[in-house]
Structure 1
Amino acid sequence: VGRYLVQLPRGALSAHDDALRRAGIRVRRGGAVLGAGGKASLGPLSPARRKPPSSSPRLDAITLQEQLERALRERQARPTGICPVREALHGALLEELAGTIARDEPRRGTLLRRVAGEARMTIDAYRTVYEKSLLFGASKLSEAAALKGNLEGRIAELQAETASLADEVRSLTDLCESLEHRAQRAEAQAEAETHDASALRAEGEQLQGLLDALRPG
């Protein structure tokens, strides 16, 4: 049997309250239900969230899904990661479902609330691990940045030392080339002097032989 919610202007049925109650028709005024005693009693939730079920549960589910997606978009909830907005909306939705189910099946509603509590505890545990991992990652990042700065300074020192050693190597190479060139020149000069000495010696011997030949016997 379907239930219907009819909204009328304020005061439209004030003169017919007694007749409606005798007919078994419940009248809701501003979110309050007018019972058999003529007194209003508030429901467990506000009328904006608590509406009588219709005869189309599938349509209600689709409508509720669309409302949830619209609320997520309007409040700019993040689709992934830790998001308080998304957590609050899903928590309100789960509480609404638990309340609705508990009206017809109290044990099932209690079980659903227990499952929601377990899920909330699991989420809190994951959040704690996530926050600690962020702190650990931040500390390691700081250490890495400090180590990088030290390494950059050390690299600069080694580069300067390498440049100095390269200059020294070039200087020593130039000195070695100069000494080698001098040695080659000295060797060439020594060979020339040796050749001249040999020639002078041969010439002296030749002159000595000539003198001996010219000397009277």
Structure 2
Amino acid sequence: MIPPNSSLLKYDNPVLVSRNTEKKTPKSRALKVSPQQPSSQGPVPAPPKGGQLSPIDASKQQQTDEILNSILPPREWNEAGQLWVQQVSSTPATRLDVVNLQEELDKRLQQRQARETGICPVRRELYSQCFDELIRQVTINCAERGLLLLRVRDEIRMTIAAYQTLYESSVAFGMRKALQAEQGKADMEKKISDLDNEKRELERTVNELKAKCEAIEKREAERRQVEEKKHSEEIQFLKRTNQQLKTQLEGIIAPKK
């Protein structure tokens, strides 16, 4: 059996509804059984004279119970083939109950070692139970105020769920970007390695071409020197031949004068 004090939300005593394991019909959820409250739950307003509520009070009480059951559904569980139901308490809360709730909240936060700051599922769960208990207390005194607090609670839960989804999406996006960055880094490193190899090949080709160019220049310089020397010798030979022919011509012409 679920212990009555397992939640900060105050429940009535568990009630045996069925002795088989079949599920209840939806209508049986709204069944209101006579709770047996322990003596430590605080004073209960005394009923009117005669021991029975007036029709107006009874109708109002039933409406409050229905609103409570719709806001905070009863807990159900099976044990040994028996179906148990535990509804939230409809007993009005006193100032002492609020003080005890605060003390119990602080106690459980300390027992379960909830974090004081940051994201903490334990702290969120306990504060959610505490807020549900406050909604229960307010709903008993004013159903409209309780329904308004219910809207606030649902909006807060929706906002938290949206932030949680956004956080999970951002984490997934970050992981994808990190993987893409790693993959891109590996591709870039491979490309750098290929470019380095290509650079070394080009440098080797340049050195070979430089060596060939130097060899060709050296060979051409030697050939040019040989050609210049040969040309110079030919000029000298032609000059000598020309001088000899000139001398011979002068020797031939001179006697005729």
User: What amino acid does structure 1 have at the position aligned with 2:127?
Assistant: H
Structure 1 residues without counterparts, runs of 5 or longer: 1-27, 37-42, 46-50
Aligned equivalents of 1:197 and 1:86: distance in 2?
Answer: 112
Change (3 A) 1:110 1:173: same
Q: Is the 8 A contact 2:109 2:123 kept in 1?
A: no
Residue by residue over 1:107-159, the C-alpha shift from the partner in whole angstroms, topping out at 9 and shown as x without a partner, is 21232123202321232233233323322432343233223222321221121
Change (3 A) 1:170 1:79: farther
User: What amino acid does structure 2 have at the position aligned with 1:95?
Assistant: D
User: What amino acid does structure 1 have at the position aligned with 2:217?
Assistant: E
Q: Does 1:190 align with 2:190?
A: no
Partner residue, 1:13: none
Change (3 A) 1:78 1:186: farther
Aligned equivalents of 1:193 and 1:79: distance in 2?
Answer: 101
Pick from 163, 176, 179: which aligns with 1:126? 163
Provide the aligned length of Structure 1 versus Structure 2: 171
Aligned equivalents of 2:137 and 2:42: distance in 1?
Answer: 17
Partner residue, 1:53: 95
Structure 2 residues without counterparts, runs of 5 or longer: 1-37, 47-87
Q: CA deviation at 1:78?
A: 7.1
Pick from 170, 178, 181: which aligns with 2:207? 170
Partner residue, 1:142: 179
CA RMSD of the aligned region, Å?
Answer: 4.1
Aligned equivalents of 1:34 and 1:212: distance in 2?
Answer: 162
Aligned equivalents of 2:134 and 2:147: distance in 1?
Answer: 11
User: What amino acid does structure 1 have at the position aligned with 2:165?
Assistant: T
Aligned equivalents of 2:116 and 2:206: distance in 1?
Answer: 62
Report SS of the residue matched to 1:79.
Answer: coil
Change (3 A) 1:212 1:76: farther
Pick from 142, 148, 152: which aligns with 1:115? 152
Q: Is the 8 A contact 2:42 2:94 kept in 1?
A: no
Q: Does 1:79 align with 2:121?
A: no
Which deviates more from structure 2 when the two are superposed, residues 103-112 or residues 193-202? 103-112
Change (3 A) 1:174 1:76: farther
Provide the TM-score with structure 2 as the length reference.
0.51
Provide the TM-score with structure 1 as the length reference.
0.59
Q: CA deviation at 1:211?
A: 5.5
Aligned equivalents of 1:76 and 1:211: distance in 2?
Answer: 132
User: What amino acid does structure 2 have at the position aligned with 1:158?
Assistant: L
Partner residue, 2:192: 155
Aligned equivalents of 2:128 and 2:115: distance in 1?
Answer: 14
